[in-house]
Amino acid sequence: MTTTTAEIAERIRDAAAHGTRLRVIGRGHWLAANRPVQADATLPLDGYSGIVDYVPGDFTLTARAGTTLAEIARAARDQGQWLALDPLGSDEGSIGATVATASHGPHATGFGTPRDHLLGLEFVTGAGDVVRGGGRVVKNVAGFDLVRLSTGAWGTLGVITEVTVRLRALPAEQQTLALAVDEDAPILERLTSGLRGLVTAPLACELLSGVLAARIGLPERPVLAVHIGGNAESMRAQRDALAGLEAGAFAPADDALWTRLRAAGAGAAATWRLSYRPSRFAHTWIEGRESIAPFAGAWMHGSPLRGAVRYAVPTDAAEPGSPERLLRALTQPFDGVRIGETLPARAWSVLPSRAMDRLSRGVRTAFDPRGILNPGILGASE
Ligand SMILES: Cc1cc2nc3c(=O)[nH]c(=O)nc-3n(C[C@H](O)[C@H](O)[C@@H](O)COP(=O)(O)OP(=O)(O)OC[C@H]3O[C@@H](n4cnc5c(N)ncnc54)[C@H](O)[C@@H]3O)c2cc1C
């Protein structure tokens, strides 16, 4: 079991010297994304865990990469704080992988993606050098770009060994509300522009298709789920503002809905997401509904305030012919950003990858000259 950063660095230097390609593993939950990694050996980090430093007064916490989000949540909760990062999947994933994959979930609406929570990190490059970016305190922004560079690099620039994150105060009160929604373009348009006009944005706000609503225990019809938080006065103002949207009556819903939503993608044959201007949300929702209609049991959810929609095709919809339809759905013309999350192995090659552009290759070569870290993970031709 690896117990120090120096040991990880030594292991990587040794691999670089021998040209041994390494697959980096956090807690191993998400390797099932089927990304085409060509590795000779694994570098597991689950044993490299634990909170190194926690300064509640500064709202900062430093943890080793293999620490689970659940462990961080427990420590923060004891101090009335939380890490407002809820990546898809579960809290049994590691903080290192969450940063490496830039994974986020419904609360990105209120708090942003991992790079917005990250104050600093330590990582070991593919040459075995230990590098630190950012800091352990909020004011220190030196090296910020290094921090951003590593976020979402899927372990191709370095192995993240330690992460410093910004925590938030737990809201004094919080509530989840749900509204049954009509999937009619003008109605959706009015609702989403009303949401964008709210003075206080919700902590989370997701539109769920009827199929997904039923999967997570709600009546089978499209629903807008909203999570609000704050003091009593702010909560009252937020409820009034939502009621003023004239979209119908919001009803109290179960807070565990967010956990079930995060877990809903497990075992899907394919999940992908499209991002574009939030003002186009209603339009893209309606279009997306048509593109997944041929897949039995397919579902979608999206954030009207972030402008991202995520689609999933369940394994049991993968009847003969589906892969071709899936590839067509993935490759149809689209002017936003398309991200594959889990795809059948052969489908990865149809999605555009930035891994081969000159800038990306230059950065990769600077950090991992022999290309030994997670080779292939960002695209087959990498
Ligand atoms: C769209 C989407 C959907 C997801 N759905 C699920 C889901 O259904 N179930 C689930 O469990 N998780 C899911 N995840 C992943 C999850 O959100 C987080 O990324 C994290 O919780 C996984 O933790 P892990 O330790 O198990 O990761 P792992 O599976 O161990 O690793 C994930 C990736 O991160 C790299 N990595 C891990 N640790 C490091 C490190 N320290 N430094 C550099 N690279 C590293 C690995 O090489 C691997 O490519 C999803 C992520 C995304 C983006």
Nearest in space to 368 (alpha carbons), one of 101, 161, 159, 157: 157
Residue 187: partners with Cβ closer than 8 Å, 6 or more residues away: 181, 247
- Low-confidence stretches of the chain (pLDDT < 50) are 138-144
pLDDT confidence of residue 77: 97
pLDDT confidence of residue 140: 46
Q: How far is the CA of 187 from the centre of ligand 1 (A)?
A: 37
**Tokens standing for residue 141:** 């922004």
What are the two backbone dihedrals, phi and then psi, of residue 9, each rounded to the nearest 5 degrees? -60, -40
pLDDT, tens only, 51-96:
999 999 999 999 999 999 999 999 999 999 999 999 999 999 999 9
The label of the residue with tokens 């795809």 reads 343
CA dist 208 to 158, 234, 272, Å? Answer: 36, 26, 15
pLDDT confidence of residue 54: 98
Cβ atoms of 301 and 208 within 8 Å: the answer is: yes
Q: How far is the CA of 262 from the centre of ligand 1 (A)?
A: 13
pLDDT confidence of residue 381: 53
pLDDT confidence of residue 294: 82
* Ligand 1 atom index nearest CA of 30: 29
pLDDT, tens only, 214-265:
999 999 999 999 999 999 999 999 999 999 997 788 999 999 999 999 999 8
Cβ atoms of 48 and 66 within 8 Å: the answer is: yes
Q: Ligand 1: which of 101, 124, 337, 341 to mutate, judged by most atoms within 8 Å of the beta carbon?
A: 101
Cβ atoms of 66 and 46 within 8 Å: the answer is: yes
Q: How far is the CA of 29 from the centre of ligand 1 (A)?
A: 6
Nearest in space to 67 (alpha carbons), one of 79, 75, 57: 75
Nearest in space to 315 (alpha carbons), one of 269, 266, 265, 264: 269
Task: Say if strands 118-125 and 130-134 run parallel, antiparallel, or are unpaired.
Answer: antiparallel
Ligand 1 atom 52: the closest Cα is on which residue? 103
